[in-house]
């Protein structure tokens, strides 16, 4: 059909593809633009005041809680996930039964919605272990939630390390453990980092699981056994109270900015990982 | 006895001892790695155990049929029929698929085959950005922008339709990313072959490359379904949350996830356990979706 007559099917298909892409872009850009236009004018210094009061719904305590929560979840999930990835990529035989079972478990975990994590965290950490609604319960719940993400990305990064690195290390007389820690992990570091940063993004954006485990106390929590709300939960509470709509928009702007930052960092790390994989032994 | 002593002597010689302790360290670390890898299994086991142990007795006490098909959810009167929420979840998820999947797949085709490099450098980060935005922000956008528009156009703000559209937008990044990589994995020879036979560019892509990427595209759709059925906060903010059977796409609706999030805070006794029962139903859906996904992947491989 090329050249001569005009083929209507081709034109319709082309238009459908272009229009859909335009729709998708419009949805994304429209939403971000809407929030930015409504929110940016309401970002005021008072919103970052040290204390939260019912008149001035400062987000500083929520930001502090978010940092603590992220640190806690990463402290638990990152080492566990990376060690698990080392087992899967460096020790286990490919396709062995153990690997298959671990992979199924990890995929199941990855598919579980956050509200079920929240419910489990509530039943296990809050009720069964008697931790109460606390930052600690929230952190443990989120660490389980991000575990599959960290494991999978770290495993992929380790598998991308060329085998000649390991062979070189073995040839120099290094053992397996030394090879893992001195050769494979450093070479895979950028890829692992990209996954960990994605996990940070999930922690920062999480709300459903945290409402049931860490509660919604508006103060910066004085101890890990106290309840505290992160940024996302803070924003949900503000929007459901409905008294501070402008401040809610401002919160949304901060959350979007955080998401953009995390996104940029993660893709920077991923690019670095790609370059390292392509560069081979040149650098 | 003497033999053991001689071994001990041998071990005390420098290199031999070094080798032995190194072998021990290797074994210890191997076990450490294995334990870490088993953490996933432990977590899945714990989650299943806790949900079933708390949810199954409640379902049994309410009566499985009454729980699954009962139309009344009135905790105050000890009526726990989860059917409205189950149907609500299915409605909203189906709506999200109808709203999001065609646009998502077509966008993936556009990105993989028709998009110029410069445009791609603009759109691709925007899609990653959409994937990273928290669901509360989506929900708030739905509440403040989508709901008033829907009220003006259809007379009903918070409804199945609004929730479907919002969820459709939310699953876009998943659907686009996964189908795009499936499309890119199709060997160029497919496209070239079709083009060489005289097919136009569009026909080659849609009738030759897209069918070849079928299993990846289906996997994308299934992943999107998983995201939609599990979404909680965004749905709460735009769906109205009435615990009654939705009468049509313009009536309010409450999903399983919303039911748990809204009532868990104050529920006690049988009410709490009935909510956990809802989570068991949701978990069953998720497991079904996972099975579907691995079946699709196996077929594709």
pLDDT digits (tens, 9 = 90+) for B23-33: 888 899 999 99
Report which of residues B206 and A50 the model is more confident about.
Answer: B206
Distance CA B110, CA B164 (A): 24
Q: What does residue B67 show for φ and ψ, rounded to 5 degrees?
A: -70, -45
Residue A214 lies in a domain: yes
Nearest to residue B70, comparing CAs of B60, B80, B61? Answer: B80
Nearest to residue A121, comparing CAs of A102, A143, A106? Answer: A143
Query: For chain B, how many structural domains are there in total?
Result: 2
Nearest to residue A205, comparing CAs of B162, B233, B37? Answer: B233
- Tokens read off for A21: 């892409």
Confidence of residue B2 (pLDDT cuts 50, 70, 90): very low
Distance CA B219, CA A70 (A): 31
* Owning domain of residue A64: 43-279
In percent, the amount of chain B with pLDDT more than 70 equals 94
pLDDT along chain A (283 residues), means of 10: 70 93 91 94 86 84 93 96 93 84 90 94 93 94 95 93 92 91 93 94 94 87 86 92 90 94 91 75 43
Q: How far is CA A201 from CA A21, A80, A152, B24, in A?
A: 25, 18, 16, 39
Mark which of B62, B80, B95 sits at the end of a domain.
B62
Query: For chain A, how many structural domains are there in total?
Result: 1
Mark which of B10, B36, B62 sits at the end of a domain.
B62
Map residue B73 onto helix, strand or coil. Answer: strand
Buried b (16+ CB within 10 A) or exposed e, A196-217: bbbbbbbbbbbbbbbbbbbbbb
DSSP assignment letter at A126: I
Please report, to the nearest 10 degrees, the dihedral formed by the alpha carbons of residues B218, B219, B221, B227 taken in order: 170
CB A259 to CB B257 under 8 A?
A: no
Residues 20-49 of B with CB under 8 A from A: 22, 25-26, 29-30, 32-34, 36-41, 43-44, 46-47
What CATH number is attached to the domain comprising B266? 1.10.3720.10
What's the confidence (pLDDT) of residue B76?
87
Pick from B39, B138, B265: which is nearest to A80 by CB?
A: B39
Pick from A13, A175, A211: which is nearest to B26 by CB?
A: A175
B6 and B99 in a single domain? The answer is no
* Owning domain of residue B170: 69-300
B127 and B260 in a single domain? The answer is yes
Do residues B111 and B124 make contact, with C-beta atoms less than 8 angstroms apart? yes
What's the confidence (pLDDT) of residue A274?
82
Q: What does residue A207 show for φ and ψ, rounded to 5 degrees?
A: -130, -50
Report which of residues B13 and A220 the model is more confident about.
Answer: A220
Residue B273 has pLDDT above 50, yes or no: yes
Please report, to the nearest 10 degrees, the dihedral formed by the alpha carbons of residues A85, A86, A91, A97 taken in order: -10
What CATH number is attached to the domain comprising A141? 1.10.3720.10
Residue A8 lies in a domain: no
Nearest to residue A129, comparing CAs of A248, A11, A31, A225? Answer: A225
ipTM for the complex shown = 0.91
By the CB < 8 Å criterion, does A40 face chain B?
no
């Amino acid at each position: 059909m090329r050249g001569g007559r005009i083929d209507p099917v081709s034109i319709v298909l082309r238009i459908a593809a272009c229009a859909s892409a335009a729709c998708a872009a419009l949805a994304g850009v429209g939403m971000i633009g809407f929030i930015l236009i409504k929110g940016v004018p309401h970002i005021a210094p008072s919103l970052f005041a040290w204390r939260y009061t019912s008149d001035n719904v400062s987000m500083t305590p929520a930001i502090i809680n978010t940092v603590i929560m992220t640190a806690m979840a990463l402290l638990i999930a990152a080492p566990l996930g990376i060690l698990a990835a080392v087992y899967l990529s460096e020790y286990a035989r490919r396709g062995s039964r153990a690997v298959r079972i671990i992979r199924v478990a990890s995929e199941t975990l990855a598919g579980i919605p956050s509200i079920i994590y929240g419910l489990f965290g509530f039943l296990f950490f809050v009720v069964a272990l008697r931790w109460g609604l606390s930052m600690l319960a929230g952190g443990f719940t989120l660490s389980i939630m991000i575990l599959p993400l960290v494991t999978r990305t770290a495993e992929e990064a380790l598998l991308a390390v060329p085998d000649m690195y390991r062979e070189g290390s073995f040839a120099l007389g290094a053992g397996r453990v030394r090879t893992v820690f001195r050769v494979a992990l450093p070479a895979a570091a950028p890829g692992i980092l990209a996954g960990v940063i994605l996990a940070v993004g999930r922690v920062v954006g999480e709300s459903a699981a945290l409402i049931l485990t860490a509660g919604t106390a508006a103060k910066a929590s004085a101890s890990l056994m106290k309840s505290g709300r992160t940024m996302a939960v803070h924003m949900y509470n503000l929007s459901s109270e409905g008294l501070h709509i402008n401040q809610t928009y401002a919160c949304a702007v901060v959350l979007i900015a955080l998401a953009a930052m995390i996104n940029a960092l993660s893709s920077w790390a991923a690019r670095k990982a790609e370059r390292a994989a392509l560069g081979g032994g040149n650098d | 006895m003497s033999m053991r002593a001689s071994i001990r002597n041998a071990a005390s010689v420098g290199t031999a001892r070094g080798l032995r302790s190194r072998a021990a360290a290797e074994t210890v670390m191997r076990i450490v790695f294995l334990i870490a890898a088993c953490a996933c299994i432990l977590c899945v086991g714990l989650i299943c155990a806790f949900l079933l142990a708390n949810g199954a007795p409640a379902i049994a006490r309410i009566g499985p049929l009454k729980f699954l098909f009962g139309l009344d959810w009135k905790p105050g009167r000890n009526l726990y029929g989860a059917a409205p929420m189950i149907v609500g979840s299915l409605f909203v998820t189906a709506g999200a698929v109808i709203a999001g999947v065609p646009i998502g797949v077509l966008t993936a085709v556009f990105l993989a085959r028709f998009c110029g490099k410069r445009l791609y450098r603009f759109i691709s980060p925007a899609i990653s950005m959409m994937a990273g935005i928290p669901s509360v922000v989506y929900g708030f956008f739905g509440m403040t922008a989508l709901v008033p528009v829907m009220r003006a156009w259809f007379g009903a703000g918070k409804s199945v339709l609004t929730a479907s559209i919002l969820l459709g937008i939310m699953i876009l990044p998943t659907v686009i990313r996964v189908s795009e990589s499936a499309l890119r994995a199709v060997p160029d020879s497919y496209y070239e072959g079709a083009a060489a036979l005289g097919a136009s560019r569009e026909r080659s892509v849609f009738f030759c490359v897209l069918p070849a990427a079928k299993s990846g595209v289906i996997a994308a759709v299934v992943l999107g379904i998983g995201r939609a059925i599990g979404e909680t906060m965004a749905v709460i903010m735009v769906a109205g949350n009435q615990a009654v059977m939705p009468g049509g796409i313009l009536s309010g609706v409450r999903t399983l996830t919303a039911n748990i999030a809204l009532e868990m805070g104050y529920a006690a006794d049988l009410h709490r356990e009935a909510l956990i029962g809802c989570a068991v139903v949701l978990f069953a859906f998720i497991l079904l979706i996972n099975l579907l996904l691995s079946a699709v992947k196996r077929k594709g491989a």
